[in-house]
Each structure stands twice: as structure tokens, then as C-alpha cells.
Chains A and B, each alone.
Chain A
Amino acid sequence: GAVVSQHPSWVICKSGTSVKIECRSLDFQATTMFWYRQFPKQSLMLMATSNEGSKATYEQGVEKDKFLINHASLTLSTLTVTSAHPEDSSFYICSARPQGYTFGSGTRLTVV
């Protein structure tokens, strides 16, 4: 079946630094990847839609300059949290099509 790999699974960073999260489709090509965020005991909220070779589409309220998304190839999308602050601490998850809606294992980001 379709596998989406996400790395790292957890990361702790200092406030003001940047963190990059990778999302890879291992056995299929993903023209579109989605980035979600989940706060504790909350639903998964879509942050942005990442399209290979073009700019990402951000959901309302998501700062595109803070959450940089790059989808340079059909198997890799990256999310960079720039100048991270403690309120950015969350669980970030990617998903990819066209193999159904398969999710990565998620990245727990803690900003201290």
C-alpha cells in the first residue's frame, strides 16, 4: 500500500530558530500533498495544500511567511516553521494523494 514517510518524528527547538519537516511519498508520486496541524485534543486542521512545481495554497489564518512549504519533486514536500515560537508547538502531519488520503506519522514540534 501507499506509504508516506515523515521526518523527524519529534523535534525540540529554541524560540526564534527555524525547523524543517519533510514529507515523502515512498512508493508513489504525489502531485499534491497536504499539511495539517493538530493541537492537543483538537481536530486536524488543514494548513496548506502543496502542489508540485507551484506555490502552496494556504488556508485562511495561516501565515505563509511563517510556514514555508516547498514541493520541489513528486515525492517530497517540506514544511519549514520559521522563527518558531512556543505557540507553534503542535503536532504537524502531512498527507498525500493520489493513493487515497494517506498520512505520515506526524512530527511533534516543541518550541522552548
Chain B
Amino acid sequence: DQQVKQNSPSLSVQEGRISILNCDYTNSMFDYFLWYKKYPAEGPTFLISISSIKDKNEDGRFTVFLNKSAKHLSLHIVPSQPGDSAVYFCAATIDSGGSNYKLTFGKGTLLTVNP
């Protein structure tokens, strides 16, 4: 049972345009969501996160939107740059009270930003 789903294995966009990466989840207990960027043979690099009490969080070119009723979140990258080309993982966890709960990852989306 896959609790975090990234249904698009890949996405290709032009430099300067917006990249939108989507993620759906099924476990209503999840209350904290994260996006990671990953290159082959490297550990994931944290990008941005959002708590379930918010519906939007922005950090520079990266914005994450959360729609709790739809159990859906998305990562927007504007403007996209060639250096953004990587695999992006969506992850979710139960963070209430600062508990040390595991992250559940989606399968990732390979983003390619073309010059």
C-alpha cells in the first residue's frame, strides 16, 4: 500500500518556465510534508516543507501548496533553471509533538530543465 504517490515519473520544462511537481497521499494522519532533491548516488537534499496547519509555504523560487481535503500537495519552482534537473521526492510524516516518526517517500519525479 503506497501511502505517498508521485504519479509522474518524469517532467520536462524549459528554462525560465514554471515546474509543477505533484504528490498525493492517503494517510490522513500525516501532518508534515517535505520535498527533497536528489542526484544519483547522493543523499537527498532538503528543499522545503509544510505543516498541515498551513496551505502554502514559500522559500525563494520554491513554493509548496497543500490541499488537505484533496490529500494533495505540489511543489512549484519558478523560474526553473537547468541546475534544478534532478529527481524530486515528496515525503510525509506524523510530526505531532515532535515525535521521531519515519518519513514515507513517494517514488520520485525526474525533472529535466532544458536550456
The judgment on whether A and B are partners is yes
Give the interface of A toward B (CB within 8 A). Answer: 4, 6, 10, 31-32, 34, 42-46, 49, 91, 93, 95, 97-98, 100-106, 108
**Known interface pairs A31-B100, A43-B106, A46-B103; A101-B42 also in contact (CB < 8 Å):** no
B-side interface size class: 20 to 34
> CB-CB < 8 A to A31: which residues of B?
100
Give the interface of B toward A (CB within 8 A). Answer: 34, 36, 41-46, 49, 89, 91, 93, 98, 100, 102-108
Q: B102 near A43 (CB under 8 angstroms)? A: no
> CB-CB < 8 A to B102: which residues of A?
34, 46, 49
**Known interface pairs A44-B105, A101-B34; A91-B100 also in contact (CB < 8 Å):** no
Contact partner of A44 (CB less than 8 A), chosen from B45, B89, B98, B100, is B89
A to B contact number (C-beta, < 8 Å)? 51
> CB-CB < 8 A to A45: which residues of B?
105
A10 to B107, CA, bound (A): 23
Question: What are 12 pairs between A and B in contact, CB < 8 Å?
Answer: A6-B43, A31-B100, A32-B100, A34-B102, A43-B89, A43-B106, A43-B108, A44-B44, A97-B100, A101-B46, A103-B46, A106-B41
A32 to B102, CA, bound (A): 10
A101 to B89, CA, bound (A): 13
